[in-house]
């Protein structure tokens, strides 16, 4: 059985259709990458899967682990094991990172019928994962993402993923804006989590990330549909030839020239 | 404006009776203080929304209610109620019911000799000379009818005095309980806190109801902070949602005195919270910190009047409001910098979260600056729970109600973090958490019932 099964997905925002019949299947243990020009619907797909309510689903079906994902609230999808690393992580002044992470982990554990973790049990876990992402422990006692650098925010997303240990992790342009050192750390964090019980959907604009995180499958998303799929070699080809289709007119042609 | 005779009649009767039996009725200074205050109240009457200071708050519900002064010792209170309002680590607790001190419910604790804590009614009889230089000397009875009414009926409350250089780390807890019930009672608690030079003290004033019902609690507190004294004051308003609470905190600060006022308003139908510090000595510092949380049809009005009367003083005002359903909040931040108060540094911030389309807040800065070398800043924001933040929390598995609560706690924590760590802060924080938990739960229930109602009406339409 596929862990994620997307069939003919259509989604709208502000009455504009963004996803126009998208199909995708991901098996547990696999890492898929979705590439595509700006405005092709990559982030919309990520947000729809994480159950952001501002998107209207007009057609199609998504099964996550055999269950109807589109009927789930964001928190239910998360508790079922779906994780989205945000392109733009949100700052939340007044809640410490550590408290936020423990609240999230306990919400997920409670849903699964596991005991909640107290602060004493949680701290060693948080330390271990922070080390993996080379995050300063001081960041744990600061407000969530507040005054974090761009790289710290992205590493914080991967740290959350490591703590919550999801079945399916969606990374939405986690590589954007990262320097090479931060990119290596993030990639190492992802690679350390790869395994037969987990799948990844890595949304990226740049091939560079895929030098460090080697995908099983690469898909090209253009204008709300997957137009090509292939192995890791497809990413390299795209890097040299571009997406081979014109950009949506409104977005300009700068990227298409690449 | 001259008050209507009809409105005044019950007050005239009450005052005549009160003047005959009040503690210290034979003290000339106290008698004239009360009489002058009552005369001024009769001249002014209750304020209307035509008065600039009351533009956003109508007290006609208070003016039109016939309140009675409570009978002494009429009420009783259960041990459970008292246990629910217990500040762990407090030095002592004075309990007042409908404004009167209840000795057997109070716990005088073990106070050092340098700290005197007593009830005002007894102190008026036993040590009037100690009170005379301070009592009624600071509160302005000329411009505020509630302050004059309080002074006219000045009878009981707390008297706290700490000797020069002494420090009491544990807070003093003053608990004012309204009995509520069917007959509207008015009480006028009056507190006097004298912190002598170089002393340090923390006082918690808490107002709660024993039962639902209409009541007026019109309270006034004068704080005298001597040179270099450090005073921390907490006001916790958690009365029944039918009751009226008007409080005035008048702070007189000496040279280098450092005063913090923390107000948490969560109860009451109409609440007016006046905080009026006068930085009278050089180098004084004043923090005015508050959080108001309203739901239902609560009306919570915060009137700040910060007077800089000496050079090199700093004042910081921070008020955060959280308003749900039909609640109405007001923040009026007035700063007066007198002619000689050069190098004043005054800051004012009011931030508000509106949780429903029907909630409302009026925020008004008012700066009057008569000195030329000063720094005054003010700012106000009105916003909603940020949808991005809510989605972020939910996407990590936290359910919507908990996510909303977390965001409210985060907003409230700005206020909590300005309180110095200790038993008073812990108590205040727990109270805030409890109140916000109730807010998010109520919101969820009302959303659920609205959904049910919508479904029911939709069904009705189908049938029709």
Angle subtended at Cα B139 by Cα B253 and Cα B134, rounded to the nearest 5 degrees: 65
Q: Report which of B443, B390, B436 is spatially closest to residue B293, judged by C-alpha positions.
A: B436
As a whole number of angstroms, the distance between CA B248 and CA B272 comes to 8
pLDDT at B464: 29
Evaluate whether B217 touches B97 at the Cβ level (below 8 Å): no
CA A216 from chain centre, in angstroms, equals 16
Residue range A34-39: average pLDDT?
92
Is the CB of residue B370 less than 8 Å away from at least one CB of chain A? no
Which residue blocks in chain A are alpha helix, DSSP H? 42-49, 74-79, 97-111, 119-132, 150-164, 180-193, 233-241
Q: Is the pLDDT of residue B450 over 80?
A: no
DSSP state of A87: S
Q: Is the pLDDT of residue B73 over 70?
A: no
Phi, psi of B413 (to 5 degrees): -65, -25
Compute the nearest-CA separation of A143 from chain B (Å): 9
Confidence class of residue B3 from pLDDT cuts 50, 70 and 90? low
User: Which residue of chain A has the CA closest to B394?
Assistant: A75
The lowest-confidence range among A48-52, A250-254, B79-83, B232-236 is: A250-254
Is the CB of residue A75 less than 8 Å away from at least one CB of chain B? yes
Report how many Cβ contacts below 8 Å link chain A to chain B: 74
Estimate the share of chain B in helix, then strand, then coil, as percent rounded to the nearest 5.
Answer: 30, 35, 35
CB contact burial A106-136 (16+ within 10 A = b; e otherwise): bbbbebeeeeeeeeeebeeebeebbebbebe
As a whole number of angstroms, the distance between CA A93 and CA A72 comes to 28
Residue range B76-87: average pLDDT?
86
Give the alpha-carbon dihedral of B434, B439, B442, B443, to 10 degrees: -150
Q: Do A100 and B396 touch (CB under 8 A)?
A: yes
Q: Is the pLDDT of residue B57 over 90?
A: yes
Q: Is the pLDDT of residue A26 over 50?
A: yes
DSSP state of B257: -
How many residues in total does chain A contain?
A: 258
Q: Do B410 and A93 touch (CB under 8 A)?
A: yes
Other Cβ atoms within 10 Å of B325 Cβ, number: 18
Evaluate whether A11 touches A43 at the Cβ level (below 8 Å): no
Q: For B256-307, what is each residue's pLDDT tens digit? A: 999 999 999 999 999 999 999 999 999 999 999 999 999 999 999 999 999 9
Q: For B191-207, what is each residue's pLDDT tens digit? A: 999 999 999 999 999 99
As a whole number of angstroms, the distance between CA B258 and CA B255 comes to 9
Is the CB of residue A92 less than 8 Å away from at least one CB of chain B? yes
């Amino acid at each position: 059985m596929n862990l994620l099964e997307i069939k003919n997905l259509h989604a709208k925002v502000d009455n504009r259709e963004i996803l126009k019949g998208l199909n995708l299947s991901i098996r547990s243990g696999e890492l898929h990458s979705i590439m595509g020009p700006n405005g092709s619907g990559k982030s919309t797909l990520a947000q729809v899967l994480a159950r952001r309510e501002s998107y209207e689903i007009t057609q199609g079906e998504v099964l996550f682990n055999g269950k109807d994902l589109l009927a789930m609230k964001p928190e239910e999808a998360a508790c079922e094991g779906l994780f989205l690393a945000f392109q733009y992580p949100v700052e939340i002044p007044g809640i410490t990172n550590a408290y936020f992470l423990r609240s999230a982990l306990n919400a997920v554990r409670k849903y699964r019928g596991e005991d909640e973790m107290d602060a004493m049990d949680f701290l060693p876990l948080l330390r271990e994962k922070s080390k993996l992402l080379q995050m300063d422990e001081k960041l744990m006692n600061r407000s969530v993402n507040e005054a974090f650098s761009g790289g710290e925010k992205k590493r914080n997303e991967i740290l959350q993923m490591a703590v919550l240990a999801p079945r399916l992790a969606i990374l939405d342009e986690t590589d954007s804006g990262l320097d090479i050192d931060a990119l290596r750390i993030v990639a190492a964090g992802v690679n350390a989590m790869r395994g037969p019980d987990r799948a990844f959907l890595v949304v990226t604009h740049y091939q560079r990330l895929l030098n460090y995180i080697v995908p099983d499958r690469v898909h090209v998303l253009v204008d709300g549909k997957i137009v090509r799929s292939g192995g890791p070699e497809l990413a390299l080809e795209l890097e040299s030839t571009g997406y081979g289709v014109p950009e949506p007119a409104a977005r300009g042609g700068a990227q298409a020239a690449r | 404006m001259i008050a209507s005779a009809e409105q005044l009649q019950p007050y005239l009767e009450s005052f005549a009776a009160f003047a005959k039996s009040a503690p210290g009725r034979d003290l000339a200074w106290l008698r004239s203080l009360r009489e002058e205050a009552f005369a001024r109240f009769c001249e002014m009457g209750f304020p209307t929304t035509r008065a600039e200071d009351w533009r956003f708050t109508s007290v006609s519900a208070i003016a039109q209610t016939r309140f009675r002064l409570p009978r002494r010792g009429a009420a009783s209170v259960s041990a459970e109620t008292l246990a629910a309002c217990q500040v762990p680590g407090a030095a002592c607790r004075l309990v007042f019911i409908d404004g009167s001190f209840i000795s057997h419910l109070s716990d005088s604790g073990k106070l050092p000799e340098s700290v005197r804590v007593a009830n005002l009614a007894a102190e008026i009889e036993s040590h009037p000379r100690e009170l005379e230089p301070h009592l009624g000397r600071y509160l302005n009875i000329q411009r505020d009818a509630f302050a004059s009414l309080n002074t006219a009926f000045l009878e009981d409350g707390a008297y706290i005095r700490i000797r020069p250089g002494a420090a009491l780390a544990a807070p003093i807890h003053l608990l004012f309980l309204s009995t509520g019930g069917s007959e509207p009672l008015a009480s006028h608690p009056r507190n006097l806190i004298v912190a002598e030079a170089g002393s340090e003290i923390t006082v918690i004033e808490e107002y709660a109801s024993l039962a639902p019902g209409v009541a007026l609690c019109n309270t006034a507190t004068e704080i005298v902070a001597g040179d270099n004294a450090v005073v921390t004051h907490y006001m916790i308003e958690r009365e029944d949602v039918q009751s009226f609470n008007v409080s005035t905190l008048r702070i007189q600060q000496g040279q280098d005195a450092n005063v913090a006022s923390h107000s948490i308003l969560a109860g009451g139908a109409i609440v007016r919270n006046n905080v009026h510090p006068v930085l009278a000595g050089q180098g004084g510092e004043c923090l005015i910190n508050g959080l108001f949380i309203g739901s239902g049809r609560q009306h919570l009005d915060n009137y700040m009047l910060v007077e800089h009367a000496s050079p090199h003083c700093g004042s910081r005002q921070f008020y955060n409001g959280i308003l749900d359903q039909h609640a109405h909040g007001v923040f009026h931040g007035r700063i007066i910098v007198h002619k000689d108060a050069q190098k004043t540094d005054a800051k004012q911030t009011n931030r508000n979260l509106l949780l429903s389309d029907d909630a409302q807040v009026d925020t008004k800065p008012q700066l009057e600056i008569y000195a030329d070398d000063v720094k005054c800043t003010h700012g106000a924001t009105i916003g909603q729970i940020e949808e991005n933040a809510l989605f972020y929390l939910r996407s990590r598995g936290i359910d919507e109600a908990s996510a909303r609560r977390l965001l409210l706690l985060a907003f409230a924590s700005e206020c909590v973090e300005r309180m110095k760590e200790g038993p008073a802060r812990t108590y205040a924080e727990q109270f805030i958490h409890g109140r916000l938990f109730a807010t998010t739960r109520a919101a969820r229930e009302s959303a659920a019932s609205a959904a049910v109602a919508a479904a029911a009406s939709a069904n009705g339409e189908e049938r029709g």
